[in-house]
């Protein structure tokens, strides 16, 4: 055969295979457009990309339009139009990982694989890229190799890892030393460590009797269950701190035939990894909390939205669900309660921070781009597919199950007036004991730092990228909703870290993760970063700080969802808490000229091309020189 | 004392200055309360005294523009960026779009003087007389180079807007600019 013929046949084969893959995947999901994220995930996995032709095929199969499919592919970072290697190596590019040396690790991989970042090897086997926080900040630098997690990388271990991969092309063979607890089990089989450093009495109590919470709940009426949760004072653990009992109550009261319970396990806030540990060690408790919520609000269906980065937990979570079904704790007539039916499915995400925001998460579950929805109506009135929906964090559901087991008063006796119970902190950064700490609300930052063995702490970021950045003068503040709220992230940085490079990183992160729907967030964060870089380069003056504060207020007030409502917080809080850093980098400009404009560099190219000096600005020619 | 006004056109098309002339006979009223210093209107090339108000048309595409703008900043109490070019670069700033080039400035000059299909350039020369000011690596807007106190958008802003702005600045009161005057779509 001539080359052209071969190419033609090859192309036909590929077309045929794409066609058959798309057809079989769509069939597997009953051509259900709502499950399109799952469909795309599988197509991406089997074809290595979702290119234009594949989009057309998908649109045909699902009676959709190519532009709809393309919208999804371009939105979620785990989908790609360009062919990806069979093995995608994603290096975690979080600020903690950066400080831990992820650039060196990247150097090792580019060297071993002979490609740059964001490239695929010529043989189509390896792709190399950066990804935002993968929830392993306590064991940084870390990487995702397909769905296998590699932690505590050093240049040496990275080189061994890369060579192993080149030899046997099998990421699953990389796990040599397994982590602790369920990480070591056959179903998770990961080198991830839990690093549970401090156990409290609610979530990591040693004896938690399985099913006790559900049993207690089923003995009561649904509205009594809700009242219990209200009495306990439980507030949402994802960060916003909305009263859980009130949320359930609103959903229960909404006039509707169907209601939904969604568990938010899209733990994307940089530096947060406590849900990962709960999913590993307290999955049963979480599902129990969801079941109790379903009973309380009258829901038949639940969804666990699991971030794509935690795909390695999927087999284990499915097995926990299976066990619960077998034990009669899911399905029909749960635990003998006539008429109480509840089922849970797991929805995997596809790499989008914004999906941690509840209305975006709902959009994503519905098979749409993970863009926030307008509120009102709130999800408790019109959520998933228009039905009343409660979205709660993994930790919230775990707490709810414990509350039903041990009683509202037991729970509300822990913590502070407005923040009841314990809180999981995921502590990372410059400290000797990074990991998970369960502690009652109201702990002082300085005590937390002592416990974690923080080395020379100077900067603490509480609540992740969208949280507050504080300095030494504020270390007597307390972790609770009244003072310093957090969804769990607690990052500590020593005095040799640069405040502004941390702020700059967070802005870079938000620019990448903004869904782009509303202008204040899409454009505003870019302007914030430009101005922060001006400060970093020493070109800023007082007025620039005013500009930063003004613009921050505008973005926070006018953005459509929580992302933009909070993204300027690192800027605002660092200006408030590190005035000396900013003061030392700003200067008053002379004569009303902009310090950031440099005539010499603006003329450099021109001098080279014209091969002459400036008549005005080069003193050699002098008379009219400045 | 009469207020002193200076104006200049940098990398602009003089359209904004046409708008200054568009205040028509009101210029006689203006001259009762103000006088022009350095401006193309009276062809005065240098500042003769410190001025109250400087109107800037156009952005900065070469070193002479920068120098002039800096002179204006030194010599004027208030600087007003007039029109799209001064504020955002306008048409000249389109050359900043040449970004994916090894040598953007050379590409820009070659396109303008050699390669463009409408060019007739028998000598095949790119102008480089020593008297020509050096071109900047890209076009800079006025607020990028010096501090600007006020901006009047428009391409060009109308004579009415300029008139109302000048009167407000001279009297030290906020300008009354009805929506109809400042909407451009």
Q: Which domains does chain B have, with CATH numbers?
A: 3-92+135-179 (3.40.50.700)
Closest CB to A616: pick one of B67, B138, B140. Answer: B67
On the question of pLDDT at A17 being above 90, the answer is no
pLDDT value of residue B100: 80
pLDDT score, position A625? 42
Taking the C-alpha atoms of residue A472 and residue A489, their distance in angstroms, rounded to an integer, is: 18
Preceding omega of A377 cis (within 30 degrees of 0): yes
pLDDT in tens, A89-148: 999 999 999 999 999 999 999 999 999 999 999 999 999 999 999 999 999 999 999 999
Query: B113 and chain A: CB distance < 8 Å anywhere?
Result: no
According to the model, what pLDDT value does residue A520 have?
96
CB B170 within 8 A of CB B34: yes
Is A312 in contact with A178 (CB distance < 8 Å)?
no
| Token pair for A462 | 């509480």
Provide φ and ψ at A292, rounded to 5°.
Answer: -65, -45
Q: Quick one: average pLDDT of A306-334?
A: 96
Per-residue pLDDT for A624 more than 70?
no
The verdict on B178 touching A (C-beta cutoff 8 Å) is: no
Q: Say if residues B10 and B56 touch (Cβ distance below 8 Å).
A: yes
pLDDT averaged over every residue in chain A = 93
Confidence of residue A620 (pLDDT cuts 50, 70, 90): low
| Chain centroid, CA A619 distance in Å | 55
Q: Is the pLDDT of residue A489 over 90?
A: yes
Residue that is written with structure tokens 């070109």 in the block: A539
* Rounded distance between C-alpha atoms, residue A623 and residue A192, angstroms: 70
Average pLDDT over residues A163-175: 91
* Å between B92 CA and nearest CA of chain A: 16
Which residues of chain B fall below pLDDT 50? none
Any CB–CB contact under 8 A between A588 and chain B? no
pLDDT for the residue A618: 85
* Test the A interface: residue of B134, B139, B148 with most A CBs within 10 Å: B134
- Scanning A598-617 for CB atoms below 8 A from B yields 599, 601-607, 609-612, 614-617
**pLDDT value, residue A6:** 53
pLDDT at A590: 77
Element holding B166 (H helix, E strand): helix B159-171
CB pairs under 8 A between A and B: 70
Residue A365 pLDDT greater than 70, yes or no: yes
On the question of pLDDT at A5 being above 80, the answer is no
Q: Which residues of B touch A596 (CB under 8 A)?
A: 144
Q: Output the CA–CA distances (angstroms, integers) from residue A136 to A92, A263, B167, in the order listed.
A: 8, 21, 63
DSSP A622: -
- A426 pLDDT band, cuts 50/70/90, is very high
Q: What is the pLDDT of residue A541?
A: 87
Tell me the C-alpha distance between A194 and B51, whole Å: 70
Using the Cβ of A527 and the Cβ atoms of chain B, whether some distance falls under 8 Å is answered with no
State mean pLDDT over A170-196. Answer: 93
Full-model pTM: 0.83
CA atoms within 13 A on the CB side of A609: 21
- With tokens 């798309």, the residue in question is A22
Average pLDDT over residues A263-282: 96
Which of B 118-147 lie inside 8 A of A, CB atoms? 128, 130-131, 133-138, 140, 143-147
Please give, rounded to a whole number of angstroms, the shortest distance from the CA of A616 to a CA of chain B. Answer: 7
* Span A514-536, average pLDDT: 94
CA-nearest residue to A539 within chain B is: B144
User: In the predicted model, what is the mean pLDDT of residues A510-520?
Assistant: 93
Q: Which two tokens stand for residue A279?
A: 């999913």
CB contact under 8 A, A606 and B70: no
Distance CA A115, CA A111 (A): 7
B70 touches chain A (CB under 8 A): yes
Q: Which residues of B touch A539 (CB under 8 A)?
A: none
Asked whether the predicted pLDDT for residue A11 surpasses 60, the reply is no
Give the tokens for residue A283.
């999955």
Q: Do A591 and B73 touch (CB under 8 A)?
A: yes
Q: Spell out a b/e string for A202-221, using b for 16 or more CB atoms within 10 Å of the CB, else e.
A: bbbeeebebbebbebbbeee
Structure ipTM over 0.90, yes or no: yes
Residue A1 predicted with pLDDT over 70: no
Domains of chain A: 3-75 (no CATH), 87-176 (3.40.30.10), 197-412 (3.40.50.11540), 422-497 (3.10.20.600), 500-585 (1.20.1440.230)
Whether A597 and B140 lie within 8 Å, measured CB to CB: yes
pLDDT per position as a tens digit, A203-245: 999 888 889 999 999 999 999 999 999 999 999 999 889 999 9
Task: Determine contact: A376 vs chain B, CB below 8 A.
Answer: no
pLDDT at A333 over 60: yes
The distance in angstroms from the start CA to the end CA of chain B is: 40
Query: Cα separation of A511 and A7, whole Å?
Result: 42
Q: Which residues of A touch B138 (CB under 8 A)?
A: 602
**Nearest CB to B134 within list A597, A601, A603:** A603
Cα–Cα distance for residue pair B109/B7, rounded to 1 Å: 29
H or E element that contains A351: none
pLDDT digits (tens, 9 = 90+) for B76-123: 999 999 999 999 999 999 999 987 888 999 999 999 999 999 999 999
Cα B39 to Cα B72: distance, rounded to the nearest angstrom: 11
Question: What part of B 33-62 touches A (C-beta under 8 Å)?
Answer: none
Q: How far is CA A197 from the centre of its chain?
A: 23
Q: CB distance B145–A609 less than 8 Å? A: no
pLDDT at A626: 43
């Amino acid at each position: 055969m001539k080359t052209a013929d071969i190419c033609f046949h090859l192309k036909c084969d590929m077309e045929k295979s794409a066609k058959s893959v798309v057809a079989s995947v769509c069939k597997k999901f009953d051509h259900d457009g709502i499950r399109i994220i799952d469909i795309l995930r599988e197509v991406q996995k089997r074809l290595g990309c979702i290119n234009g032709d594949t989009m057309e095929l998908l649109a045909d199969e699902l009676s959709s339009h190519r532009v709809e499919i393309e919208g999804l592919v371009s939105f979620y970072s785990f989908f790609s139009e360009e062919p990806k290697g069979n093995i995608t190596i994603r290096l975690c590019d979080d600020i903690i990982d950066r400080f831990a040396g992820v650039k060196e690790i990247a150097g090792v991989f580019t060297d071993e694989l002979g490609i740059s970042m964001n490239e695929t090897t010529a043989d189509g086997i390896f792709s190399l890229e950066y990804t935002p926080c993968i929830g392993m900040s306590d064991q940084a630098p870390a990487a995702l190799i397909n769905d296998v997690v590699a932690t505590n990388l050093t240049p040496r271990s990275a080189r061994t890892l890369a060579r192993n991969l080149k030899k046997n092309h099998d990421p699953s063979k990389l796990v040599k030393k397994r982590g602790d607890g369920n990480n070591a089990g056959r179903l998770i089989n990961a080198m991830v460590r839990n690093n549970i450093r401090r156990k409290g009495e609610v979530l990591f109590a040693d004896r938690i009797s399985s099913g006790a919470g559900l049993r207690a709940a089923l003995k009561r009426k649904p509205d009594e269950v809700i009242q219990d949760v209200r009495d306990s004072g439980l507030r949402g653990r994802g960060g916003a701190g909305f009263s859980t009992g009130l949320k359930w109550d609103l959903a229960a009261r909404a006039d509707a035939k169907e209601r939904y319970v969604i568990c938010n396990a899209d733990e994307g806030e940089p530096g947060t990894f406590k849900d990962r540990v709960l999913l590993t060690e307290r999955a049963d408790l979480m599902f129990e909390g969801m079941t109790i919520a379903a009973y309380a609000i009258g829901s038949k269906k639940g969804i666990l939205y699991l971030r794509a980065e935690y795909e390695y937990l999927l087999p284990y979570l499915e097995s926990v669900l299976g066990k619960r079904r077998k034990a009669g704790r899911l399905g029909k007539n749960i635990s003998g309660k006539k008429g109480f039916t509840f089922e849970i499915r797991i929805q995997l995400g596809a790499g989008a921070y914004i999906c941690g925001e509840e209305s975006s998460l709902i959009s994503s579950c519905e098979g749409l781009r993970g863009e926030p929805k307008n509120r009102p109506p709130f999800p408790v009135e019109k959520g998933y597919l228009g039905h009343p929906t409660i979205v709660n964090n993994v930790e919230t559901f775990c707490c709810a199950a414990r509350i039903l087991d041990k009683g509202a008063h037991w729970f509300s006796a822990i913590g502070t007036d407005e923040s009841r119970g314990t809180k999981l902190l995921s502590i990372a950064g410059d400290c000797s004991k990074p990991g998970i700490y369960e502690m009652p609300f109201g702990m002082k930052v300085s005590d937390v730092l002592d416990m974690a063995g923080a080395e020379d702490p100077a900067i603490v970021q509480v609540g992740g990228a969208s949280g507050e950045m504080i300095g030494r003068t504020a270390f007597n503040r307390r972790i609770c909703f009244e003072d310093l709220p957090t969804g769990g992230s607690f990052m500590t940085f020593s005095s040799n870290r640069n405040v502004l490079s941390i702020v700059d990183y967070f802005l870079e992160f938000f620019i990448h993760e903004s869904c782009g729907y509303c202008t204040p967030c899409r454009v505003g964060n870019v302007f914030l970063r430009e101005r922060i870089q001006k400060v970093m380069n020493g070109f800023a003056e007082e007025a620039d700080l005013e500009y930063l504060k003004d613009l921050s207020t505008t973005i926070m007030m006018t953005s459509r969802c929580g992302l933009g409502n909070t993204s300027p917080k690192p800027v605002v809080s660092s200006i408030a808490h590190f005035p000396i850093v900013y003061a030392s980098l700003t200067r008053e400009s002379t004569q009303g000229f902009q310090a950031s404009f440099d005539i010499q560099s603006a003329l450099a190219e021109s001098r080279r091309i014209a091969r002459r000096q400036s008549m005005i600005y080069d003193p050699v020619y002098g008379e009219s020189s400045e | 004392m009469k207020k002193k006004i200076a104006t200049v056109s940098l990398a602009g098309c003089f359209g904004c200055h046409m708008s200054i002339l568009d205040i028509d006979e009101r210029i006689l009223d203006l001259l009762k309360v103000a006088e022009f210093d350095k401006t193309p209107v009276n062809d005065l090339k240098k500042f003769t005294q410190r001025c109250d108000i400087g109107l800037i048309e156009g952005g900065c595409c070469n070193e002479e523009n920068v120098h002039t703008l800096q002179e204006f900043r030194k010599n004027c109490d208030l600087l007003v960026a007039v029109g799209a070019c001064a504020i955002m670069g306008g048409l000249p700033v389109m050359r900043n779009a040449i970004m994916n080039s090894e040598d953007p400035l050379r590409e820009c000059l070659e396109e303008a003087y050699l390669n463009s299909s409408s060019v007739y350039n028998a000598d095949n020369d790119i102008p480089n007389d020593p008297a020509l000011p050096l071109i900047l690596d890209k076009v800079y807007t006025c607020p990028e180079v010096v501090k600007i106190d006020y901006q009047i958008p428009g391409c060009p802003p109308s004579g009415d807007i300029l008139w109302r702005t000048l009167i407000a600045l001279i009297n030290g009161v906020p300008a009354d600019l009805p929506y109809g005057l400042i909407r451009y779509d």
